[in-house]
């Protein structure tokens, strides 16, 4: 990582099995107490007396916030832990894009622990697109970046020790100029007869061609044998959608892409596989293919927060419970002051996290993605790393409320004048069902019998573009939650904010006839409100 706070708490793994103790590392000289919370309730604690490892014992499945409180009762550091019997049911994705022989991988591993990244894409690690491990132990890749397989192995082994999967980048239909003569007979051609290509150094073949699939799967298997990869990021470039072969036969790429995912799974039954649906193409055909996540790289016209929400909603419906990851590159860091870019990232994360998806953004030892060629990444400022640290801790600690595939959007069944069952109002801004500049975007989700209200603050924003400089969020005034009571019980209301306490805190509820009413804490960027209609559980 590029910065190191005076006191830091890091989990030893990105996830823990239910029968294994949760162990965290304390860095820095401090004394105090580690407090473990599950959905706001304290469930465990342990004393801290200086740096070292602290064993918090075994915990039931769930997400946990962990807070180090020093002896003067101030919060010194925070982290989180996920306990799960099914680690691949979630995906918190990062990246690496450099493999020089002298690379120090410790910074990468620290970032993985800090942000709880359970999978890391090893971008452009291979020798050539159609010859992944043919370059020997050291080589330059297709774009002249130095690669040492010894570095790749150190990354793979280090990630494995943290419970994180190393996924090797592999394009499913790209052939370089050096290998093209062998594969020209499988070319996909445009209307003028020229082969579809990328950047003048890659040509595209039909990914469903039997001999190509046999070669690709063998190359993937050889990569596992050579460097121990735990799986693959299967890439495409978003085009063409339809094409023809050199013999005139038509190609439907949606079907071809599904076919290549199925072939990869057949040859790599235990590997973690992720296919890139570029700009939502063809998510409808691949989301339920035999892979481990629904991954979508977004471009215009998916340029607004609301369009991101729609992409995720479609992906969750088509993915049949698979985790959803969106590659939303924050180019804004290259063009705007860090404060404006950080607010853009916070609003992007609020949109994705509140809709049950995660974002591929962070990687290396503290960098963020600003370009589809990952080598051109951006070294994050301390404020950006602090933001990501807070929000990824929050994501993990509230895993059951945010990423449960059984979560159901019930906004239309609860809010509004006809329903009169639940709503949140502000004196200085409207609440809206879609992302609207100047308002508070309100969404209601039912998760395991609870109502979870997401409030995203768009006051002060001129528009809802997610990759544009953002103004400082405005103040809509004190929020009022009003909910119709289910019976004699007094509903319980808890509020969490990644930029405040970071965990659920109960708020006072007063009765007003058939309704229960609560005044909410000040709204920053995103607030999570949990309503238990039946009272305390």
Whole-prediction pTM value?
A: 0.96
CB atoms within 10 A of CB 313: 15
Give the per-residue pLDDT at 29: 84
Are 505 and 496 within 8 A, CB to CB? yes
- The whole-number pLDDT of residue 137 equals 97
Instruction: Record the tokens describing residue 160, joined without a space.
Output: 């494995």
pLDDT at 373: 96
Q: What is the pLDDT of residue 274?
A: 98
Q: Angle at which helices 338-354 and 305-319 pack, to 10 degrees? A: 30
3-state SS, 478-528, equals CCEEEEECCCCCCCEEEEECCCCCCCCEECCCEEECCEEEEECCCCCCEEE
* Structural domains of the chain, with CATH: 8-83 (2.60.40.10), 87-170+209-243+253-402 (3.20.20.80), 408-532 (2.60.40.1180)
- Mean pLDDT in consecutive groups of 10 residues from the start of the chain, 537 residues: 74 97 94 95 95 97 95 81 97 98 96 98 97 96 96 98 98 95 95 92 96 98 98 97 95 97 98 98 98 98 98 97 98 97 98 98 98 97 98 98 97 92 96 97 96 98 98 97 94 97 96 96 98 83
DSSP state of 289: S
The pairing of strands 324-327 and 357-359 is parallel
pLDDT at residue number 4: 60
What letter does residue 421 receive in the DSSP assignment?
S
Question: Token pair for residue 497?
Answer: 């904010």
pLDDT of residue 535: 84
CB 216 within 8 A of CB 129: no
The pLDDT, as a whole number, for residue 11 is: 98
Distance CA 298, CA 328 (A): 6
pLDDT at res. 6? 83
What number of other Cβ atoms are within 10 A of residue 433's Cβ? 15
Q: How many residues does the chain have?
A: 537
φ, ψ for residue 224 (rounded to 5)? Answer: -60, -45
Tokens of 248: 């005139």
Q: What is the dihedral of CA 216, 220, 226, 232, to 10 degrees?
A: 140
């Amino acid at each position: 990582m590029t910065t190191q706070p005076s006191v830091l708490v890091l989990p030893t793994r990105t996830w823990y099995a239910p029968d294994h103790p949760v162990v965290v590392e304390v860095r820095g000289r401090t004394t105090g107490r580690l407090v473990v919370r599950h959905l706001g309730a304290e469930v465990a604690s342990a004393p801290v007396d200086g740096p070292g490892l602290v064993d918090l014992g075994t915990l039931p499945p769930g997400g946990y916030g962990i807070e180090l409180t020093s002896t003067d009762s101030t919060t010194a550091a925070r982290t989180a832990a996920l306990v799960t019997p099914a680690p691949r049911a979630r995906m918190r994705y990062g990246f690496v894009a450099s493999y020089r022989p002298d690379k120090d991988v410790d910074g990468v591993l620290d970032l993985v622990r800090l942000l709880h990244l359970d999978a890391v894409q090893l971008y452009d690690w291979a020798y050539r697109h159609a010859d992944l491990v043919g370059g020997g132990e050291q080589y330059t890749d297709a774009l002249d970046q130095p690669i040492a397989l010894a570095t790749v192995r150190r990354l793979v082994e280090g990630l494995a020790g943290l419970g994180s999967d190393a996924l090797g980048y592999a394009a499913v239909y790209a052939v370089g100029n050096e290998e093209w003569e062998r594969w020209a007979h499988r070319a996909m051609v445009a209307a003028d007869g020229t082969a579809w290509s990328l950047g003048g150094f890659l040509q595209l073949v039909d990914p469903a061609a039997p001999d190509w699939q046999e070669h690709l799967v063998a190359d993937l298997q050889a990569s596992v044998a050579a460097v121990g990869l735990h799986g693959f990021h299967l890439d495409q470039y978003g085009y063409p959608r339809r094409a023809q072969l050199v013999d005139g036969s038509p190609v439907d790429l949606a079907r071809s892409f599904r076919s290549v995912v199925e072939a990869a799974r057949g040859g790599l039954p235990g590997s973690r596989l992720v296919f890139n649906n570029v700009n939502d193409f063809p998510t409808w055909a691949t989301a339920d293919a035999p892979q481990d996540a629904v991954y979508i790289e977004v471009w215009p016209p998916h340029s607004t927060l609301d369009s991101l929400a729609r992409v995720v909603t479609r992906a969750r419906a088509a993915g049949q419970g698979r985790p959803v990851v969106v590659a939303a590159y924050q180019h804004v860091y290259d063009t705007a002051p860090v404060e404006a870019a950080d607010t853009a990232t916070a609003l992007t994360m609020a949109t994705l996290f509140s809709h049950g998806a995660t974002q591929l953004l962070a990687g290396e030892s503290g960098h963020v993605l600003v370009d589809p060629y990952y080598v051109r990444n951006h070294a994050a400022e301390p404020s950006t790393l602090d933001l990501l640290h807070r929000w990824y801790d929050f994501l993990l600690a509230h895993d059951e409320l945010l990423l449960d595939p059984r979560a159901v959007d019930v906004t239309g069944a609860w809010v509004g004048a006809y329903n009169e069952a639940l709503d949140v109002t502000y004196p200085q801004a409207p609440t809206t069902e879609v992302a609207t500049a100047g308002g508070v975007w309100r969404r209601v989700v039912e998760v395991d019998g609870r109502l979870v209200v997401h409030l995203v603050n768009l006051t002060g924003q001129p528009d809802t573009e997610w990759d544009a400089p953002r103004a400082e969020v405005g103040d809509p005034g004190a929020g009022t939650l009003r909910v119709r009571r289910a019976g004699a019980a007094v509903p319980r209301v808890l509020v969490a904010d990644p930029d405040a306490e970071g965990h659920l805190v109960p708020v006072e509820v007063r009765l007003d006839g058939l309704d229960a009413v609560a005044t909410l804490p000040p709204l920053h960027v995103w607030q999570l409100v949990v309503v238990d209609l039946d009272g305390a559980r």
